[in-house]
Amino acid sequence: EVQLVESGGGLVQPGGSLRLSCAASGFTLSTYWMHWVRQAPGKGLVWVARTNTDDSSPSYADSVKGRFTISRDNAKNTLYLQMNSLRAEDTAVYYCARVMETTVYSGQSFDIWGQGTMVTVSS
Amino acid sequence: QSVLTQPPSASGTPGQWVTISCSGASSNVGSNNVNWYQQLPGTAPKLLIYNSNQRPSGVPDRFSGSKSGTSASLAIRGLQSEDEADYYCAAWHGSLNGPIFGGGTKLTVL
């Protein structure tokens, strides 16, 4: 079965760090563009970061640029999001999402989503 | 961060036809395909429509998408109780080098 499973969320103090993991199964992660999307409690979806197949040109939302880093470990078939200097406004459920192959250059549709992992930034 | 504009709520009775609009700009909806996602309560989003009007396998043909200029629409024909969910549109935004999402529309089946 093709699926993504996130982990690593939790409660962290402002200014702290967390690393989220997104384990892929049923497909080879290295051949897909991947994104992170977050959703604050009761709010809508917000794009966070994306990486291409060789991680040569990651991009980030302005709100996380310089604080978050997206990466992957192909041997473990796992995507990561390193989050530093966390703020209260980073509190959200974080989803990893796979880009449908045929849409890489035509809008990047997310055909597989993980179940999400909750990050709470609070003192 | 800018978002695409969706009505916050929509409603209909079983069997009805409902549409949800998504308004953007030339830099996103106007120059890129639109995707639609369905988020049932307490679950992760699910791809409903891609490339503005294509359905992934497994999505009923009751769901359809269209785009004209800087606006897009999701139509649901023959509304069912299980369609009660939040619906989000999304489009690539060139200067962001990533997608932007609409604020979401909560669909209630009366």
Across the interface, whether the CB atoms of A61 and B32 are under 8 A apart is answered: no
Give first-to-last CA distance, chain A, whole Å. 39
Q: Any chain A CB within 8 A of the CB of B59?
A: no
Count of Cβ atoms closer than 10 Å to residue B72 Cβ: 28
* Minimum CA–CA partner of B49 in chain A: A109
- Location of structure tokens 């962001």: B96
How far away is chain A from the Cα of B18, in angstroms, using its nearest Cα? 21
Tokens of A68: 């978050």
Judged against a pLDDT cut of 80, whether residue A113 lies above it is answered with yes
Run of H or E residues at B64: strand B63-68
B46: contact with A, CB 8 A cutoff: yes
- A–B CB contacts, 8 A cutoff, strictly below: 81
| A47 — pLDDT class (breaks 50, 70, 90) | very high
Determine the distance in angstroms separating the CA of A63 from the nearest CA of chain B, rounded to an integer: 8
CB contacts of A100 in chain B (<8 Å) are: 47, 50, 56
A103 with B34: Cβ contact below 8 A: no
* CB nearest to A106's CB, from B44, B51, B96: B51
Query: Where residue A121 falls among pLDDT bands split at 50, 70, 90?
Result: very high
For B35, which of A61, A62, A107 is closest by C-beta distance?
A107
* pLDDT reported for residue A101: 87
In the predicted model, is pLDDT for residue B2 greater than 80?
no
Q: Is B52 helix (H, G, I), strand (E, B) or coil?
A: coil
Minimum distance, in Å, between the CA of residue B43 and any CA atom of chain A: 7
What tokens were used for A40? Answer: 């604050």
pLDDT in tens, B39-70: 999 999 999 999 999 999 999 999 999 999 99
Nearest to B88 among A45, A59, A114 (CB): A45
pLDDT-derived band at B10 (thresholds 50, 70, 90) equals: very high
Q: Is the dihedral of CA A3, A64, B103, B52 positive or negative?
A: negative
Nearest residue on chain B to A48, alpha-carbon basis: B98
Inter-residue contact B106 to A46 (CB < 8 Å): no
Does residue A123 contact residue A12 with C-beta atoms inside 8 Å?
Answer: no
Phi, psi of B20 (to 5 degrees): -125, 130
Residue B76 has pLDDT above 60, yes or no: yes
